[in-house]
Structure formats: C-alpha cells, structure tokens
Structure 1
C-alpha cells in the first residue's frame, strides 16, 4: 500500500462521526454529496471520462476489532474489510473502507467479497432490495487539508454493510456540481 493511501485510511479511521443537522447541511455546497442516498460511484462518474477503482486491501476483521460505533450500526460479528480508492481521470477522488459482516456475505450477498475492481456502489444499487441510511459526517484533517467524510449503512437484501468515505482534495465535492 502506498504511503499516501495509508495516510488517507488512517485519517478515515480517526474520523469523529456525528449525525449531521440535515437542514443545515442541505444549505451547503457539499451537502448534496454528503447526503447522497444513491450510488456515489454513479455521481462521481458524471465528472470524468475514465473511472477506476484501486483496491488497496481486502482482509478479515474479528469482532473484537470493531469500534462501538461500528457495532451499533452493523452488529458485532466478523467482517470482510474492503479498502479502495476511487479515481476519476487518474486522480484519486475518494478513499473508502467498507465493513461487510459475515452474515451479509451469506446467500445473495456471497459474491460481494469477490468484487475485485468493480465499484461496490455500482453493484449494490443495481439491486432493487438496497438502500442507504444512518448517514454520519466528519471533517478530517489530513495532509494540511480539511476534508469531508461520511459514513453510512448500506442494506442489501436486508443485510447491512458499513461504508466510510473520505473525499480527497481533488474530488469534485470541492468544486462545482455538473448538472445531471
């Protein structure tokens, strides 16, 4: 793993998550990004010609390594962790860390641990039985930048996953929105 990716993941794991004031957040430039309820992948793809996923790591995490906040959102069980960087036109835009509980990977979710470079959101939001809730936000200091982050719970076939996302300095969240 590159030193830069390690720094981003460390910053993401140090985030102090809070439930946002949704009405106030909606009035900010970044609010629509942080409150996005559908696929972040689809939204990011609208801002580039080439979209790539760099898989940093996929590994097992035992239940005793989960934080209290993670346990409150997905339960206390072993997880597969998937850490990636999403890139638009070769620029790193988003660092993400997904916790997929063992029970989510059973049955219809069994293919999730083998996504490779397929974006998780692209896959999840193709399914009719998917949704996002429990959005939390944070501002994270990283490499002399104040970066936006969000954490949300994704449901696939009524089974949870937890996705934490750090919007990197070149991310379109910090610029003007391209109309759909």
Structure 2
C-alpha cells in the first residue's frame, strides 16, 4: 500500500470526522494521500479520485440556464433537477445506503471564482470550498460542489466547516430557516453522453451557499421508468 502524508496540522483542527474515510482506505489497501494544514483537510482516495476526476473538470465548463427557459426531455429529469427538498433524501429512495466521500474541504480566497459565482454569493473575500462524491450502494451518483462564504456576522460557515463526511443536505434541510432562492439547470455533453446538472443558491439563517450537483452516468435520474 502506498501511503503519503504531509501533516502540518494546527491544534484544534476538527479531524475526527475524517477518521472513517481514512480507516476505510487503510483497511482496503487503497492508495491515499493526505494533505492537512490550517485551512482544512484533503483526503484523496486515489482510485476513486481517478474515476471521477474527468467529471470534476466539467464543473467549470457548465453553461447554466434558468428553469423557465430549459427543455426537460422527461418528467423524471424535471423532477430530479427541480427537486426543492434534500437531494440526499431523494437519493435514499433508490438505494439501501447513501455514502458521502469528501474530495475537498478547505478555505480559499475568491479571486478564482467566476463573475457569476461572485455575484450570487455577494462578492465575499473567502469561501469554504466543499466537494463530495455521493454514492448509492457504493456506486457514484452525484458530485456535489459547494461554495460557502465566510461572513463576519455569522458563525454558520464555521459550523459547516466541521461537517466532515455528513451530508450537507441533511444538515441544511433539518432547519426551518432555509430557502432555495435561485435554481439553474444544465445539459452537459460529454464523451460518455449527456449528463444533467443543477445549481442552487440556498439561504440558511441569512447565510448564502452555492450548491452545484452533477449527476454521474449511473445516477437514478438516468434509469428509465417501467412503463408496464
């Protein structure tokens, strides 16, 4: 097993919620690389990361459209892309176990954000960047990419920093004070065929967050309904 470690943690960094992912990799002899510093933790499972990395690169190439201007080819695709509740909860209806693997979880300056992202988030100076892979019964279904600005008047972003491998949707939608005030959708053409994506701005206790969800080829949204 290949194990590379760069360990420069500061005291008090919340790393307990990363233990399960690390233990899984160690027990299954999966090559991993751990990067840890004061900004956050990257746990990269090499075999898994290689399988989804081509899709990660698509996130910055998506052309978003408003729902009212978008053609939904089937009612099922419309249902998934316009789901107003927790996508995690919807996916649980199609599997025995839904898992969350953290690909990235760290603070970044916002100089690299697209102009539209800056505008949707109110031009923050610093954001928490969270990328996860959601899998149903160990099959990759969705890549989630979330930007959460750090606000002086709110500690919610710091609480979300400690989320670890818990579902963001489970955390957000257990609150009564949450709304989705922007929803955009996209058709993404790839070498593997058409993929679907959506981007939401959620407001939770006056804390905005921009959530992008890219549906991978094995996601339930692509499964044809039984018409019989």
Per-residue deviation, residues 16-48 of structure 1 (Å, max 9, x unmatched):
111122785496330011011110000001110
Residue pairs, 1:70-89, within 5 angstroms: 70-77=117-124, 78-89=126-137
- Cα separation, partners in 2 of 1:60 and 1:167, compared to 1, 3 Å: same
Matched residues, number: 178
Structure 1: distance between partners of 2:164 and 2:193: 30
1:149 maps to which residue?
197
Confirm whether residue 60 of structure 1 aligns to residue 113 of structure 2: no
Structure 2: distance between partners of 1:107 and 1:83: 20
Contact 1:104 1:110 in 2 (8 A): no
1:3 maps to which residue?
50
> Gaps (5+ residues) in structure 1?
none
> Gaps (5+ residues) in structure 2?
1-43
| Aligned mate of 2:60, from 13, 23, 26 | 13
| Aligned mate of 1:94, from 142, 147, 160 | 142
- Cα separation, partners in 2 of 1:157 and 1:104, compared to 1, 3 Å: farther
Structure 2: distance between partners of 1:104 and 1:166: 31
Structure 2: distance between partners of 1:176 and 1:118: 30
Q: Detail structure 1 runs of 4+ shifted over 6 Å in the superposition.
A: none
RMSD over equivalenced CA pairs, Å: 2.2
Q: What is the Cα deviation at residue 59 of structure 1?
A: 2.0
Contact 2:181 2:201 in 1 (8 A): yes
What is the TM-score with the length of structure 2 in the denominator? Answer: 0.72
Structure 2: distance between partners of 1:143 and 1:169: 11
| Aligned mate of 1:127, from 156, 175, 181 | 175
1:162 maps to which residue?
210
- When structure 1 is superposed on structure 2, of 63-72 and 17-26 the one drifting more is 17-26
What is the TM-score with the length of structure 1 in the denominator? Answer: 0.90
Q: Larger Cα Rg: Structure 1 or Structure 2?
A: 2
Q: What is the Cα deviation at residue 123 of structure 1?
A: 0.6
